[in-house]
């Protein structure tokens, strides 16, 4: 079978694929039909993987994919397949692992050459159209790959077979299970701590990413073992990135990473997942320190989220582009004259609290950031600055906006729903909780045949969901149950885990695959153990199962979570730094915390204490005084008495004596 000799992306749901629908390249989406065409024609596949907010993806598109001469070579020599890595992280992870196994640096765009049966044999990332940056020109690459395929086909196929076997062993195979050990978290945390930049925060060197899984590891280490140096590393990293240009000081929200070691020059794309994790980390930091910086940044980021990232139905869009009018960061950067024009006499006040910098190598307009002293003053005088920032924001809104990838990804939405519900609890913002409920309903109601979609854009939906989707939505449902007390959320969490079991569990009942059992177009069915910018699918699955078993008291589910954690720990032992999400989730499985609160709904005394002291290890269950139904089970099958207010904090199957005094509960939760 062969497909039409034309670009076939026009009807795809992905905004990224739509961006390429006008290219002269005969692009296909990843599908059984596209893969079959390569076999029929006996042509290698040119696979290009990227995402809508990717700056270098746009550069390569403008230079090569929009060029008629380059497209003619691609169309003559290859079956050309375009993949949105956010729609198909399973495909992306397979071929990114292949690139890594070749000893190449990963990144996007990912450019991989596959045999007609989808096995990788050579690749890279961005290739310029003409040779420069020490890289060959793209047409040179195309012709060299074609020559190797024609002249050395047998050798290329042998190499591809060996590489595929290696990737399968790395991403899909089983290792002996490991004994879950408290020391594993401590060892990883100490290793991460040794990589921290003590002056600038984050990991030493550049570029600098927020790296939420590592920050989570350090935070858990402090909570569990009292390692204050690990807590301080997280706080320093947050403070430095929130002062830098990576944070949008005018409109709120965090960019994906900074190109330098000082957090100053970002790649300006804003991703939903980064900001979900920023809200969560800042929520924990504010509870631990009382530093108003973290509360202010949460509020600013949520305002940005609700203003710019909501799509029809209330779910959240995936990302905002870095570029506008063909220039990176143009929408977000300012020169002094522009600030003075907007603010007039107030501009002197602006420069008291903010700095404009244009570092060496940056070709755009200056970038807004803060010194440490300015950050401190800004928090104290926060209310005074709001009208001034609103004027600048209004002026910025008149500019040409960066593109928005409006697809709603289920797993990324799950992360944001949980973060928004948790921050809403902690800061007493019922409007945030309501927004998270609306987003949750938009995703949950989009299901079909009792299955979640992975992605949706308007009426277009991509099925089936991934294991990360079910895990993230389970965790979101539990966070909403904690925030609202609505039992339906607990019921839905149970349904999501049942669907995960049905479609993703392996044959040995030792864990879960990223892709569903009826996914027919994946060359390798992988586990999803490796962290990216977010915790791995496996880490999220274990966390979801542990939390739900704590919530329900389901010992069978607890055993299932334990078994999945043991086997994941066995695999993670071979690359713990790449699987911090698994290590963090295993630490949760070893010592899950459960807090049962009986309190007066009209005048609660204990619940506000729990709300103001969030702990990622803890599942909270709130019961109104006098309740006789839907009571949570304490370990040993004991039901909590509901005649008066009380709190029971349990670790595993052991509970401390009931606490009835709010101050005593506060001391206990802070100490732990």
Q: What is the pLDDT of residue 632?
A: 87
HSE, CB side, 13 Å, CA atoms: give it for residue 202.
Answer: 23
**Helices and strands per DSSP (H, E), number in the chain:** 25, 21
| 479-508 pLDDT, tens digit each | 999 999 999 999 999 999 999 999 999 999
| 73-92 pLDDT, tens digit each | 999 999 999 999 999 999 99
| CB atoms near residue 378 (< 10 Å) | 19
The CATH T-level fold of domain 15-171 is Glutaredoxin (3.40.30)
- DSSP states along 57-91: HHHHIIIIIT-HHHHHHHHHH-EEEEEETTT-HHH
User: Taking the domain 182-329+405-590, which CATH number applies?
Assistant: 1.50.10.10
| 69-78 pLDDT, tens digit each | 999 999 999 9
Q: How far apart are CA 667 and CA 661, in angstroms?
A: 10
Residue 42, by phi and psi: left (phi above 0), alpha (psi -120 to 50) or beta? left
| 390-427 pLDDT, tens digit each | 999 999 999 999 999 999 999 999 999 999 999 999 99
| CB atoms near residue 498 (< 10 Å) | 12
pLDDT at 472 over 80: yes
- Domain ranges for the chain, please list them: 15-171, 182-329+405-590, 593-671
- DSSP states along 161-183: HHHHHHHHHHHT---------HH
Q: What is the pTM of this model?
A: 0.96
Average pLDDT over residues 464-476: 98
Structure-derived torsion over alpha carbons of residues 258, 262, 265, 266, reported in degrees to the nearest 10: 20
Q: How many residues does the chain have?
A: 672
Average pLDDT over residues 234-238: 98
pLDDT at 178 over 70: yes
- Identify whether the C-beta of residue 287 lies closer than 8 Å to the C-beta of residue 295: no
| CB atoms near residue 159 (< 10 Å) | 18
pLDDT at 463 over 90: yes
């Amino acid at each position: 079978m062969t497909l039409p000799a034309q670009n076939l992306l026009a009807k795809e749901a992905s905004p990224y694929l739509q961006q390429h629908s006008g290219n002269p390249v005969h692009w296909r989406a990843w599908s059984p039909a596209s893969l079959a065409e390569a076999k029929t024609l006996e042509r290698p596949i040119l696979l290009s993987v990227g995402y809508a907010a990717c700056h270098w993806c746009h550069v390569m598109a403008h230079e090569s994919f929009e060029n008629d001469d380059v497209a003619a070579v691609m169309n003559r020599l290859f079956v050309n397949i375009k993949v949105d890595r956010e729609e198909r992280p399973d495909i992306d992870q397979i071929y990114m692992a292949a690139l890594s196994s070749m000893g190449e640096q990963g990144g996007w765009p990912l450019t991989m050459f596959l045999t007609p049966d989808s096995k990788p044999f050579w690749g890279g990332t961005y290739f310029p159209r003409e040779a420069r940056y020490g890289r060959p020109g793209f047409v040179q690459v195309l012709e060299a790959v074609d020559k190797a395929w024609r002249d050395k086909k047998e050798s290329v196929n042998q190499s591809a077979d060996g590489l595929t076997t290696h990737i399968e062993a790395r991403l899909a195979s089983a290792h002996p299970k490991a004994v879950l050990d408290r020391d594993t978290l401590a060892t990883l945390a100490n290793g991460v701590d040794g990589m921290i930049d003590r002056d600038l925060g984050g990991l030493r060197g550049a570029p600098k990413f927020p790296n939420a899984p590592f920050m989570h590891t350090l935070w858990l280490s402090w909570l569990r073992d009292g390692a204050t140096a690990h807590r301080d590393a997280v706080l320093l990293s947050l403070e430095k990135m929130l002062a830098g240009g990576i944070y949008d000081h005018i409109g709120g929200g965090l960019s994906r990473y900074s190109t330098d070691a000082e957090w100053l020059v970002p790649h300006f794309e804003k991703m939903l997942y980064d900001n979900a994790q920023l809200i969560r980390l800042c929520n924990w930091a504010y509870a631990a320190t009382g530093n108003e910086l973290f509360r202010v940044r949460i509020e600013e980021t949520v305002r940005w989220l609700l203003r710019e990232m909501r799509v029809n139905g209330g779910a959240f869009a995936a990302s905002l582009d870095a570029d506008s009018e063909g220039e990176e960061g143009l929408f977000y950067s300012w020169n002094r004259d522009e600030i003075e024009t907007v603010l007039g006499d107030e501009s002197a006040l602006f420069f008291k609290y903010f700095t404009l910098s244009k570092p060496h190598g940056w070709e755009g307009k200056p970038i807004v950031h803060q010194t440490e002293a300015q950050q401190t003053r800004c928090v104290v005088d926060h209310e005074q600055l709001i009208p001034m920032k609103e004027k600048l924001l209004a002026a910025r809104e008149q500019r040409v906006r960066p593109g928005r990838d409006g697809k709603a990804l289920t797993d990324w939405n799950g992360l944001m729903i949980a973060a928004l519900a948790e921050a809403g609890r902690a800061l007493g913002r019922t409007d945030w909780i309501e927004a998270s409920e609306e987003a949750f309903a938009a995703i949950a109601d989009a299901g079909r045949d009792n299955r979640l979609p992975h992605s949706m854009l308007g009426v277009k939906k991509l099925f089936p969901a991934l294991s990360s989707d079910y895990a993230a939505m389970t965790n979101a449902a539990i966070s909403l149950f904690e925030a609202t007390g609505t039992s339906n959320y607990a019921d839905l969490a149970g349904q999501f885990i049942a669907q995960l079991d049905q479609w993703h569990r392996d044959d040995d009942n030792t864990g879960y695959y990223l892709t569903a059992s009826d996914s027919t177009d994946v060359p390798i069915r992988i586990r999803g153990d490796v962290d990216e910018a977010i915790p791995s699918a496996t880490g999220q699955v274990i966390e979801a199962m542990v939390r739900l078993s704590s919530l329900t008291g389901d010992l069978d589910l607890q055993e299932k979570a334990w078994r999945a954690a043991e086997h994941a720990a066995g695999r993670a032992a071979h690359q713990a730094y790449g699987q911090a999400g698994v290590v963090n989730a295993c630490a949760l499985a070893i010592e899950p915390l459960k807090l049962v609160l009986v309190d007066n709904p009209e005048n609660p005394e204990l619940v506000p204490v729990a709300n103001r002291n969030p702990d990622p290890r803890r599942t909270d269950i709130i019961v109104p005084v006098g309740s006789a139904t839907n009571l949570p089970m304490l370990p040993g099958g004991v039901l909590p008495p509901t005649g008066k207010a009380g709190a029971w904090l349990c670790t595993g199957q052991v509970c401390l004596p009931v606490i009835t005094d709010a101050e005593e509960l506060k001391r206990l939760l802070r100490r732990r």
